[in-house]
Structure 1
């Protein structure tokens, strides 16, 4: 049989390509041909042609964000999360072999609930996928802003009684301004692509306009904007307003101007009005309260926050729980709290590094394949790819997942208490090399603590 597939994860880095590899291996092992299109952070690779799709006996979509399915109309289609594409590849291929996949009709009713966590029947894309679609497009702007701000402070900053100050008129002051400009796009981009995921292209402009209004408190008489929380709300409001308007039947004479005039103008006014006259101030108040809490955290609350974030990052290694913690840390960079991303940056790399070290310390407790996987995991940990731990967790979740969670929690606590900050939404030693981290020695100390705890704990559990 011939199959085609599309894989895509929210950040477009590890899960996208791991799912592609697993599906390819599973299909080929059962004697089938498969072509997998990856929609990663660098764009679409191995793009499916019309001929590929026409000849295909089945289609697989393993994605953590919205994927356009219209080109697959009339084909048997299975849609699962990207994590399920990694863990359940053989089962997915088997379902296509047996003809168990429904034919995609292009309607909402034609979407199958491929698993308990995948697609909600008759209700469109899940909230999580819409949210992660916005996050995936937001991240580059946070990276640019955070890295340029960090570099300008590290290289061009002059120590004063008020801390590092960049002299006015200097080149590094200009670099700082460019970084700040990148941050201003963060919330509108988040909102726009959430709306795009819900309502397709007509949702993009209203979502971005709504996100801009949400981020600027001047529109609704607040000293602060609504931050990333308001951006998320604006994106969902815009998306569903646009989708509702698209569903209204209008005379044929009006249809040509609907997408270019009526839909964007009406939906932008609706979203903006909701924030200006309704929810703008309350959400801004929530953000101000969150900021005040973060600024006033005592050691006990900082430890608790670090433990929660560290545990979430390690729990599903790039899955939904991990991404919620990652989104919080990323958004807090733009809100002026890089000390939240610091512990997350440590927690991100602890699972793969810890398991890599564990296989080095106790080779006899691991198979040859696991030892090789340990080397790959260690390399992935150096560049902050938590997914390197997935092969170990999939094979032995009872021992591995608690070990990496405890290790990540310990590392995150050390980072939080020692004031480690991270100005970009990423983790691992690579962020220290890029000078995105403050207090580099303690960053590495925190990583070392987390790695040691994970390696010792998992090897101890495997010896029982």
Structure 2
């Protein structure tokens, strides 16, 4: 069956997100470790310390400017140096985020000829301020242009050069010129507007965004909607703002709810589940604690009409509480295991517990109602 263009582009975006996640995980967790060792203010001096000091020339406490005020780092010596090394490595890794997203979207559409134009387009998006929105656009454009060029029938003497030289050259030139001449500034303005809106979030607007993100994270448990929310959160981490950290914490906390809720439900009412589901429930405790939403997929696949709405309700509660309590996460993954990068951690835990209880209660009640109906039908028969 021929796959439509909408589906192909969606699959390519999912490919880009999947290949981007290792960059996010490695870079984000290295930054979080750098904060744990060198203090959260190490980010202001990390590159300077990493490049200008050594194990034989350890730095004293460093000064930096924040909000027009001169500040001094909380750490010094070996702690500051190691923290700066880790934070710098993480920052350089996160610098590939948009380029990897764009490059692998193009790869998902056009294969190998799309990789270079996609990566270059993503790097250009960062340079002109278009961010991950620009990366999505350049990835799709590069993939479509490269795919069209691969469909051409060149002379035999030129065919060998097409995928290696001609297609990457022409695609990069076309996408790059489109971004620089036409699309770059509007996309950069859109990205700036989005960042300003997020930075200005307070009160009800922040809670509403938390509810929306919570619903998205629990809708398809690792599918396109879940990945879109996760991409939104991780792409914002590179901005290093309070709002971006709050969004990351909200997404991570809400994504932990489904496996934890199913684990709790299978523990409390084991008779409502098959032996295989009971075993999956035991595993789901660890998966949920580590922010692996896919731990709830077996339950959702077996009973989507009861499980998915229940998980979405729990995710919405967790998302709203995370925003209301001002919880922020400087780590993009890891769940409870990156506690050192979450502040306030108690707010993170309270939000997860509340959402887990709501989701577990709802799914248990719905399954009990279903079981009662089956018993009534069997008795009547």
TM range (shorter): 0.7 to 0.9
**TM-score for both structures, normalised by structure 2:** 0.82
- Are 1:152 and 2:59 counterparts? no
The structure with the largest helix share of the pair is 2
- Are 1:243 and 2:147 counterparts? yes
CA shift digits 1:70-103 (9 cap, x unpaired): xxxxxxxxxxxxxxxxxxxxxxxxxxxxxxxxxx
- Are 1:363 and 2:270 counterparts? yes
Equivalent pair of 1:157/1:164 in contact (CA under 8 Å): no
Q: CA deviation at 1:260?
A: 2.8
Equivalent pair of 1:145/1:178 in contact (CA under 8 Å): yes
Hey, what's the Cα distance between the residues in 2 that align with 1:374 and 1:158? 37
Q: Which has the higher contact order (CA 8 A, sep 6+)?
A: 2
Partner of 1:248, secondary structure, is: coil
Equivalent pair of 2:248/2:328 in contact (CA under 8 Å): yes
Residue of structure 2 aligned with 1:216, choices 85, 110, 127? 127
Equivalent pair of 2:17/2:227 in contact (CA under 8 Å): no
Equivalent pair of 2:104/2:139 in contact (CA under 8 Å): yes
**Equivalent residues in 2 for 1:20-59, closer than 5 Å:** none
Equivalent pair of 1:384/1:430 in contact (CA under 8 Å): no
Hey, what's the Cα distance between the residues in 1 that align with 2:167 and 2:330? 38
Moved more, 310-319 or 421-430: 421-430
Q: CA deviation at 1:292?
A: 0.3
The structure with the largest strand share of the pair is 1
CA shift digits 1:422-453 (9 cap, x unpaired): 23333532333xx3423222211111111111
Residue of structure 1 aligned with 2:310, choices 383, 403, 406? 403
**Equivalent residues in 2 for 1:136-285, closer than 5 Å:** 136-157=18-39, 165=73, 170-217=81-128, 225-285=129-189
Match of 2:50 in 1: none
Residues 165, 133 of structure 1: CA spacing in aligned structure 2 closer, same or farther, 3 A cutoff? farther
Residue of structure 2 aligned with 1:382, choices 277, 280, 289? 289
Match of 2:215 in 1: 311
Match of 2:51 in 1: none
Q: CA deviation at 1:186?
A: 0.9
**TM-score for both structures, normalised by structure 1:** 0.68
Hey, what's the Cα distance between the residues in 2 that align with 1:444 and 1:326? 19
CA shift digits 1:28-52 (9 cap, x unpaired): xxxxxxxxxxxxxxxxxxxxxxxxx
Hey, what's the Cα distance between the residues in 2 that align with 1:394 and 1:245? 40
Q: CA deviation at 1:206?
A: 1.1
Hey, what's the Cα distance between the residues in 2 that align with 1:203 and 1:391? 35
Gaps of 5+ in 1: 1-111, 114-118, 218-224
Partner of 2:160, secondary structure, is: helix
Q: CA deviation at 1:177?
A: 1.9
Gaps of 5+ in 2: 42-62, 370-381
